[in-house]
Amino acid sequence: MNRRNAIRLTLIALLVGLALSEVLIPNAPSMSESSPGNNTLGMRLGLDLSGGIHLVYEADLTDIGNETAAEAMDGVVDIISRRVNAYGVSEPVIQKQGGDRISIQLPGIKDMQAAVDLVGQTAELDFRELTSESWEFVTQFIDQGLQLDYETLTQEGTIEWVPATAIGSAGQEAHLTGKYLERDTYVEIDQNTNEPRVRFAFNSEGAELFAQITGRLIEKPLGIFLDDGYVSSPTVKSKIEGGTGVIENMSLNDARDLAILLNAGALPVSLGHWDRGTFLSGPAVQDEVDPTLGADSLQKSLIAGAVGLILVLLFMAFFYRLPGVLAGCTLIIYGILVLAAFKLIPVTLTLAGIAAFILSIGMAVDANVLIFERLKEELRAGRTLGGAIEAGFNRAWTAIRDSNVTTLIICGILYWMGSNFAEPRVMGFALTLAIGVALSMFSAIVITRTFLRLFVGTRIAGHLWLFGAQRSEQTPGSEE
Amino acid sequence: MFDFVSKRKLFFLGSGVVIFIGIISLIVSGLNLGLDFKPGVTMTLVFSEPVEQESLRAGFADIGYSDAVIQHSPKDAFLLEDFAPDTQEKDQLAEDLQAEFGTTIRTAEFASEGVGNGTLALIFGKTVSEADLGDELDNLGYGNVTFTSATLDSFLIRIGLPEEQDSEAVATDISEQERIKEALKAEFGAVDYLDYDSISQAVASERVRYTGYALLVAALGILLYIAWSFRKLASSFRFGVCAILALVHDVLIVLTIFSLFRLEVNSFFIIAVLTVIGYGVNNIIVVFDRIRENRGRHINASLDTVVNISITETLTRSLNTSLTTLFVLLALFLFGGSTIHNFVLALIVGVVACVYSSLFIASQLLVAWDHGELARLFKWIPIRRQGS
């Protein structure tokens, strides 16, 4: 074993060790923070493979005409899809049920309350100012230099807020609300206090209103309310022309959730349930359900898949002898690497993803088969093992490169088009396949080759039948 | 060496016949669109006896809903025994309890064989203790009713409708509800609905269309890449075109089988088609790569000879890789769960089509093009059309 190969082998062992720990440790690092893993290994599974929460909400359509009701329900489906996607739950199933209900299935969420909060909130942000009486009341305390707790005062009803309005572009008075927000609200950390806050930006209309209102309220509090609940009331220091602002006074998790809600937009109607003619908050139905493909059915499929993979390994060992066994080892390592990548990125695993995974295993096997067929040819042509390995790899490389690059092109286009038209299942397929193909190239070219080189110059190299080329006619240099 | 190339017209004819039948079938009867693409009905059923998910699936297939999506969702319930109030009394009781415990309550009735008596199941939206319920029933004047707590097998079920039916109408159609209930009762024992409602389709059809557009763009990408990668050969863009034609062939074969045998097409079918395309590209390129290599090695040989040598050389590899893939797929098909049956079937048909087309269609098209046969074929079609 030469030194370079020893170094390669050590690096591969290190990589496999890292990948294995990523797979086996449930809370291993992941590149996305808000992505709850939902099975024992901490992988994220889609609704077809993992159970989840089933919610049914009724919409309050009392103030809405019949024609706009259908439109409003479509809007609800759209906004909830956006919220759920932003929250990091992939492939939810959101459907209209009857005329005024909406059925939502969220895979992998264990926390019913989190699901209910995410879906059920109307998320209407609005800006308010104190009534003149309340302002006068408050001023006495401010003049004494006291810090006021606006939140408690508001809840106690000691002070009152009225909508903050300004003159809009159409010339009439408009209330500044979340509907003027651009969809690029995000969470940032205040450099001075180290506290999280939500930064929002208005569109041009909203920025104009915001500038007028802040210009009027200098040294006064601007109340920020979400669904009629007090959130915060910063004191305006100067007129804000840029059209952006921040919402403070909340935990990091609350800030992140608020950003998701504001980016998705407010629901056109309230969701809740009817109880004897009264509209209440909370879902009409909240159940835990098993995967759409059925837990029983999946169990059987999992076993069947394992049987199939073992058959593949046996076939490889039988047909390609020693290289086949090595390729089997490579495939197992390949499996570990792919799972680690899925968890690290993280990828939501669904049936589509598994199809892509099987396809990429097929391509990984294929890459190995291509190399071994070439290896056999080279050995039969009378090369030494070392020479045959290098020649075999070099000649198999163009086919492996072209087929994998073409597949990557398909993946790229599907992912890009998928993201434009929001088809999560196609995107998931493309992403999973791309990861699988990239790693399969790596495993065939780097890992299999390193393993094979181990045998160069050893006594095993003399036994050509181990490489499936025992009937070699010693005709060096023969081309035909 | 077997002469594949001279048999090419036979291969074209074979595929042509299958695809022709397929296109006729697609035009006449189309595809059997599954639940994901059409509106349907959602229902929650609760059973008094334990029920296996797989047998319930079979039960639904027996009453005409083979595409039902069935999700197990067991529920904790209180069973009020020998208690069969009329609807008004039952609703009143549920309302009173709902108000007292501040949660939603769903009820199910299991009629027993005896006259008038049955079991009322109460399913609370939150955890309620047996003692609290006992006290409350006492207060409401039902102190003599005995009850037990149990976990009942319950299922969330979606079924698709035949296309001509309106889901609103079906949701309000009591006779269909009764028919399903009676059929299930005969097989699984007492059962009741917790809800029964129309539901919109799960996958919007425009998304399928966009996936189709994405594939068109991808085809262009494949064409350009192959043309670039084979640029050292004369008329390299032909390789790209033939690859695309072979892929279209593979997809058409899958569509043919699914249309002809009325197999159900759901959203997973799209994924199966994408997988087949990925698999097909891989196979085609391996053969093309050999042609590229052998072209340089046998400079004086005709394209026919080069293609034939290349097919022969890649035959073992093609069979081996497709066999390994088929091992996994066949294992999944034979021993896997029924819910992924059609999905795996589409993959099996696709893989077989891919191997066939990579050997007998893609590279043979190159040869046919070289001989000017393709041009003749295209001339031939309009003449025949005019004649008929």
pLDDT, residue A478, reads 40
Is A76 among the domain residues?
A: yes
pLDDT, one tens digit per residue, over A194-219 is: 888 899 999 988 898 999 999 988 88
pLDDT, residue A34, reads 46
CATH code of residue B304: 1.20.1640.10
Q: Would the pLDDT of A190 be above 60?
A: yes
Q: Would the pLDDT of B285 be above 70?
A: yes
Cis amide prior to A234 (ω within 30 degrees): no
In the predicted model, what is the mean pLDDT of residues A138-151?
A: 81
Cα of A334 to nearest chain B Cα, Å:
16
CATH code of residue A456: 1.20.1640.10
Cα of A365 to nearest chain B Cα, Å:
7
Share of chain A above pLDDT 90, in %: 6
In the predicted model, what is the mean pLDDT of residues A249-270?
A: 84
The distance of Cα A119 from the centroid of its chain, to the nearest Å, equals 18
Which DSSP symbol is given to A172?
Answer: S
Residues B245 and B380 in one domain: yes
Q: Is B156 on the interface with A (CB under 8 A)?
A: yes
CA pair distance B319, B128, nearest whole angstrom:
62
Is A473 among the domain residues?
A: no
Cα of B252 to nearest chain A Cα, Å:
19
In the predicted model, what is the mean pLDDT of residues A311-317?
A: 87
pLDDT, one tens digit per residue, over A462-478 is: 777 777 765 444 444 44
pLDDT, residue B386, reads 45
Is A277 among the domain residues?
A: no
- Interchain CB distance below 8 Å, B289 and A421: no
Residues B176 and B262 in one domain: no
Residues of chain A neighbouring B270 (CB-CB closer than 8 A): 425-426
Residues of chain B neighbouring A304 (CB-CB closer than 8 A): 331-332, 334-336
Q: Would the pLDDT of B157 be above 90?
A: yes
Domain boundary (B167, B199, B231) is at B199
Cα of A187 to nearest chain B Cα, Å:
32
Residues A235 and A313 in one domain: no
Residues B233 and B350 in one domain: yes
Q: Would the pLDDT of A316 be above 50?
A: yes
Which positions 24-83 of B are in contact with A (Cβ < 8 Å)? 42, 44, 52-54, 57, 69-73, 75
pLDDT band at B116 (very low <50, low <70, confident <90, very high): low
Q: Higher-confidence residue: B35 or B215?
A: B215
- Interchain CB distance below 8 Å, B338 and A276: no
Domain boundary (B172, B199, B226) is at B199
Q: Would the pLDDT of A14 be above 60?
A: yes
The average confidence (pLDDT) of chain B is 86
Is A480 among the domain residues?
A: no
- Interchain CB distance below 8 Å, B218 and A425: no
Q: Would the pLDDT of B49 be above 70?
A: yes
pLDDT, one tens digit per residue, over A228-245 is: 888 888 888 888 888 888
Which pair of tokens denotes residue A346?
Answer: 């993280």
pLDDT band at A382 (very low <50, low <70, confident <90, very high): confident
Is A475 among the domain residues?
A: no
pLDDT, residue A477, reads 42
Residues A94 and A155 in one domain: no
Question: Going along A10-157, which residue ranges are E strands?
Answer: 44-45, 52-59, 93-97, 101-107, 125-130
In the predicted model, what is the mean pLDDT of residues B305-320?
A: 90
Which residues constitute the domain of residue A395? 3-30+294-467
CA pair distance A82, A265, nearest whole angstrom:
9
Q: A28: closest CA among A44, A42, A12, A14?
A: A42
Instruction: Give the total number of structural domains in chain A.
Output: 3
Residues B235 and B186 in one domain: no
Residues A376 and A447 in one domain: yes
Q: Is B362 on the interface with A (CB under 8 A)?
A: no
Instruction: Give the total number of structural domains in chain B.
Output: 2
Residues A164 and A115 in one domain: no
CATH code of residue A143: 3.30.1360.200
Is A253 among the domain residues?
A: yes
In the predicted model, what is the mean pLDDT of residues B206-229?
A: 88
DSSP labels for A235-304? BP-S---SSEEEE-SS-HHHHHHHHHHHHH---SS-EEEEETTEEESS-SEEEEE--TT-HHHHHHHHHH
Residues B213 and B103 in one domain: no
Which residues constitute the domain of residue B276? 5-35+203-387
Residues of chain A neighbouring B151 (CB-CB closer than 8 A): none
CA pair distance B309, A477, nearest whole angstrom:
19
Is A322 among the domain residues?
A: yes
- Amino acid identity of A249? N
CA pair distance A421, B346, nearest whole angstrom:
25
pLDDT band at B162 (very low <50, low <70, confident <90, very high): low
Residues A117 and A150 in one domain: no
In the predicted model, what is the mean pLDDT of residues A163-178?
A: 86
pLDDT, residue A153, reads 84
Is A271 among the domain residues?
A: no
In the block, residue with structure tokens 């291969």: B11
Residues A234 and A187 in one domain: yes
Domain boundary (A106, A121, A136) is at A121
Residues A333 and A461 in one domain: yes
CA pair distance B155, B149, nearest whole angstrom:
19
The average confidence (pLDDT) of chain A is 83
- Least CA distance to B267: which residue of chain A? A425
Residues A240 and A178 in one domain: yes
Residues B103 and B191 in one domain: yes
Domain boundary (B152, B170, B199) is at B199
